[in-house]
Amino acid sequence: MEKSIVIYYSNTGSNKYLADKIANSLNCPMEAIRPRVKNFGLMLMGGWTKISLGNHPIKSDLTQFDRVILVGPIWTGQLISPLRNFLKKYKQQINELHFATCCGSYDEIKDDKFGYGRVFDKIKALVGDANIHCEAFPIVMVLPEDKREDSELVMATRLNDENFTGAIEERFENFIEEVTM
Ligand SMILES: Cc1cc2nc3c(=O)[nH]c(=O)nc-3n(C[C@H](O)[C@H](O)[C@H](O)COP(=O)(O)O)c2cc1C
């Protein structure tokens, strides 16, 4: 049995970057979630309405892995439909779930309406008894402190090799340690 697999969804690249980094660190396979309908507006609405056409089937056999590391963004405070559909369909096949997100919200506001904390709670409620561990990699961690409220800059920033240093890299190393514990 292989140890880990990374399953990810990313629209603008930051969560793909994060997924790549996790798969490289764990030396494990990775597979993208492929929504049946790629229209962004419909996917976004799917988070609120819980109506969606679902994803194409995952090619990997998740029962062959000790743990699944799911990676993806947060939109409008919701568990986005590609991630929710994945979890609903495959939760019975997951032994241990880790969720990582590169998102716009950050630690100080994680429990606000659009904060990542609420999404972590939604995942825990949905998946129930799987062993779950969640971590956020807020995009503001790669920006100077005084730019955190610059929403245009926050939305335009993507993770990359140049900015993935310092506090975010430290958090990443702790995450990998926790995953492999
Ligand atoms: C329409 C939209 C809504 C968003 N809403 C939230 C939100 O409620 N909370 C949050 O933490 N981030 C939010 N974000 C920020 C994304 O989570 C962030 O940009 C993420 O890194 C994008 O990941 P990707 O590059 O892998 O697609 C939102 C982004 C978009 C485009």
The string of pLDDT tens digits covering residues 84-123 is: 999 999 999 999 999 999 999 999 999 999 999 999 999 9
Expressed as residue numbers, the domain containing 11 is: 2-179
State the pLDDT at residue 120. Answer: 97
State the pLDDT at residue 49. Answer: 84
> Ligand 1 center to residue 122 CA distance, Å?
16
Atom of ligand 1 nearest to the CA of 40: 1
Min mean pLDDT across 46-50, 57-61, 92-96 is at 46-50
Number of domains within the chain: 1
Nearest protein CA to atom 22 of ligand 1, as residue: 73
73 C-beta closer than 6 A to ligand 1: yes
102 C-beta closer than 6 A to ligand 1: yes
Q: Which residues contact 22 (CB under 8 A, 6 or more apart)?
A: 6, 30, 69, 71, 100, 175, 176, 179
Cα three-residue angle 147-150-153, rounded to 5 degrees: 90
State the pLDDT at residue 96. Answer: 94
Nearest protein CA to atom 2 of ligand 1, as residue: 75
Atom of ligand 1 nearest to the CA of 155: 19
Atom of ligand 1 nearest to the CA of 13: 25
CATH number at residue 43: 3.40.50.360
103 C-beta closer than 6 A to ligand 1: yes
Please, what's the largest Cα pairwise distance for the chain? 47
> Helix, strand, coil proportions of the chain in percent (round to 5)?
45, 20, 40
Strand partners, 97: 68, 132
State the pLDDT at residue 117. Answer: 97
